[in-house]
Amino acid sequence: MEVIIRYRPQFSLINMKNILILSFLLILGNCSIFCQNNDFSKEQTVDSTENNQNNTSVKKSTEDELKKGLSGKYEGILEVSLGSEMYDHKKGTVYFDLTADPIIYIYSGVNANSNSNLYYYENKKILSRTDDDAYLLQNKSFQENTLQGWFEKIDNEWVYWQKFEGYDEEGLDIRKPDYLRKTANLESSKQDIDLYLSQEAIFKEYWDKFKQAMIQADMNSLDNLIVFPLKDETKLYDERKVINTASEFHKRINKYINEAQKNPDGYFDKGCIKVMEIEEDHNFDYIFYGDFFLLIDRINGEYKVVRLTVWG
């Protein structure tokens, strides 16, 4: 009888222990390599984030310094609207504060950005907002009516080129519009800018009081907001009468508004226009345009209606 003997490998407890130890060491080694790679990846991510933050910070700092450098007082030939698409050009002063949000743009004493419609854009441009802004910015193209002006450095000094609405060379060679030269920095101009803005705020407060007094027929308030006697210089009537009291003024104004078939409550909501310092008729500060004109000026530091008239 043939006897077949099969060999079975014998594993001692010592061999099993060694195998387990080697397996454990291999697992630890792989974990260590994974952790090191993961830590390195995290370090790269942190370094990349820090670099991006640093680059953004440096870029913002550079832009802020540029805006501050462009801000200040500029002088040169400005444009004055004479109505009916007619313009004149005279020497005047402009103030910029591009560090403010919205930017501050004082044009011959007038806050040209009171409605926050103007803003600073890259490449030192001043733009006005339109419905097509998103498209314009995305395509880096600007329509003529959105670009209000731009800054440029000439002879190592900042100048500002403005867009003129109605310049005609004929007869104006001596006063030909050119760039505005920067004559003072932002720090030196800050006091003048603040004065213009504070006066604008004072007038807005005055105009709100005037509107409320007219709507509520508050004669006591009206009496302090108008200079009496006030001559009625309108051409609505042949006989021009002198207005001596707030009650007379209120009745006269409401009569004109009603004859024009307008709503008295919202008639004055459109506000007033600030007169430029370079305009020839700069003997008052603000004018209200309606079916009649109200001319408003500062009397002993307080705003008051000084004339009731029409032009043309």
| Domain boundaries of the chain, sorted by first residue | 70-184, 205-309
If you ran DSSP here, which 8-state letter would residue 277 be given? T
**pTM of the entire structure?**
0.74
- For the chain, 312 residues long, give each residue's pLDDT as a single digit of tens: 444 444 444 545 455 555 555 565 555 556 555 555 555 555 555 555 555 555 556 566 789 999 999 999 999 999 888 776 777 888 999 999 999 999 999 999 999 999 888 999 877 999 887 655 555 555 555 554 578 899 999 999 999 998 887 655 554 444 456 799 999 999 999 999 999 999 999 999 999 999 999 999 999 999 999 999 998 888 655 567 889 999 999 999 999 899 888 888 889 988 899 999 998 766 889 999 888 999 999 999 999 999 999 865
3 state SS of 147: strand
284, two tokens: 């008052």
Number of H helices, E strands in the chain: 5, 15
- Which residue in the block uniquely carries the two structure tokens 């630890």? 28
What tens digit of pLDDT does each residue of 94-118 get? 999 999 999 999 999 999 999 888 9
The residue type found at 271 is G
Give me the pLDDT at residue 213, please: 95
Q: In what order do the strands lie in the sheet with 293-299?
A: 242-243, 230-233, 302-309, 293-299, 286-289, 273-274
Distance, in Å, from the CA atom of 125 to the CA atom of 127, rounded to the nearest integer, reads 6
In whole numbers, what is the pLDDT of the chain averaged over residues? 80
Give me the pLDDT at residue 126, please: 92
If you ran DSSP here, which 8-state letter would residue 226 be given? B
Q: Which of 21, 83, 36 is nearest to 287 (CA)?
A: 83
Distance, in Å, from the CA atom of 121 to the CA atom of 65, rounded to the nearest integer, reads 14
What tens digit of pLDDT does each residue of 8-18 get? 445 454 555 55
